[in-house]
Amino acid sequence: MGMGWHLGQHQRRRNNGLSSTDLARARRAAHQAAFPQDPDKPSILSLVQAEEDALPGVPRLFTFSELQQAKHDYLASSSPSSSSQPPIYLAIVGHVFDVSKGDQFYAPPDEKEGGREGGGYGFFAFRDAARAYVTGDFSKEGLREDVEGLKEEECRGVWRWVNFFKDKEEYPFVGRLVGMYFDADGRPTRSYLNFRACVGTGEGGKGVGGEEGEEEACATSWERGKGHTVWCEGSDGKVPRRRLKEGGGEARGRCVCVDLKDGKVHAAEAEGTLVVYPGCEPQQSMCAFE
């Protein structure tokens, strides 16, 4: 028998007796089981593929070490003698954006003694901390890229933040972070597809507010000894309110960002279904309370 037959037998033994055709069929079956298609909805794969096709070119690929070097370069140049500042990069679910024009928010703190504090959200710069966008845990342990175990609404909250940055002209998309969500060739990984499956196919999302007509969720955080913080950063003048659930007390409400110019907001406030957080001014875009 020829060499090709022997090689084929060797490969089958390595693949537990399965031929390459059998393996391909098994992989397709496993993928279909993981991402079942609803005839009335586009599949996760088709949504991701459409996004890939819409890209104007191959995205620049960043490594984590490159982001750290970019952070070092930024901090090293942040002195009065610097003629220009290197860019500030922010990653979320593997998508990298240049947020330099929002340096008042995203400038990283200089952790050296006597260094500047940075922006209020500087902990998001030069890293992927996707999980913290919905958990509000800004500790070292909480600023993580993995979103495993998040509920559907939390995954959608992360995706709304991705779209928020995508929709901001001043925060251009500049590439992808190689690692958990994109491989060394810039292709979506299983972790990315799992995340998009958690988001679901009905969440197109426009900015942080999601689909047109949906209420925009606030960003929230809680720290021991400091209490709660709610904010609507980058939301075009919107302010946080607690939306009370029908038939429930204030403790059962959720935080939403609203536009005070909207007549429906005033009507809801008059009815008591939208309330200002305790100790907060009605016009504040960020407020803290116990």
How confident is the model at residue 41, as a pLDDT? Answer: 55
* All structural domains of the chain: 60-209 (3.10.120.10), 216-289 (no CATH)
Cα 238 from Cα 28, distance rounded (Å): 46
Average of per-residue pLDDT across 16-35: 50
Query: Across the strands, what pairs with 61?
Result: 176
How confident is the model at residue 231, as a pLDDT? Answer: 82
Name the maximum alpha-carbon separation found in the chain.
Answer: 87
Cα 234 from Cα 92, distance rounded (Å): 16
Contact present, 45 and 193 (Cβ < 8 Å) = yes
Cα 253–Cα 254–Cα 259 angle in degrees, nearest 5? 115
Cα 102–Cα 108–Cα 110 angle in degrees, nearest 5? 145
C-alpha distances in angstroms, 154 versus 22, 121, 157?
Answer: 38, 20, 5
How confident is the model at residue 33, as a pLDDT? Answer: 46
* pLDDT (tens digit per residue) in 145-163: 999 999 888 898 899 899 8
* pLDDT (tens digit per residue) in 169-218: 899 999 999 999 999 999 999 999 999 999 986 544 333 333 334 567 77
Which pTM value belongs to this model? Answer: 0.61
Cα 215 from Cα 208, distance rounded (Å): 9
Q: Tell me which range, 30-44, 45-59, 153-167, 170-184, is most confidently predicted by mean pLDDT.
A: 170-184
Cα 272 from Cα 70, distance rounded (Å): 48
* pLDDT (tens digit per residue) in 90-144: 999 999 999 999 998 999 988 776 667 788 889 999 999 999 988 888 888 999 9
How confident is the model at residue 205, as a pLDDT? Answer: 38
C-alpha distances in angstroms, 189 versus 73, 111, 183?
Answer: 30, 33, 6
Q: Which of 140, 137, 149 is nearest to 223 (CA)?
A: 137
How confident is the model at residue 22, as a pLDDT? Answer: 54
C-alpha distances in angstroms, 90 versus 121, 166, 268?
Answer: 11, 12, 36
C-alpha distances in angstroms, 102 versus 58, 99, 232?
Answer: 25, 5, 14
* Residue 253 vs residue 98, higher pLDDT: 98
Residue-wise DSSP of 9-52: HHHHHHTTT--HHHHHHHHHHHHHHHSPPPTTS--HHHHHHHHH
How confident is the model at residue 96, as a pLDDT? Answer: 97
* Residue 113 vs residue 244, higher pLDDT: 244
Kindly report the average pLDDT of the chain as a whole number. 77
Percent of the chain clearing pLDDT 90 (strictly above): 31
How confident is the model at residue 45, as a pLDDT? Answer: 84
Is the sign of the CA dihedral 140, 143, 148, 151 positive or negative? positive
Examine the pLDDT at 38 and tell me if it is beyond 60.
no
Examine the pLDDT at 72 and tell me if it is beyond 90.
yes
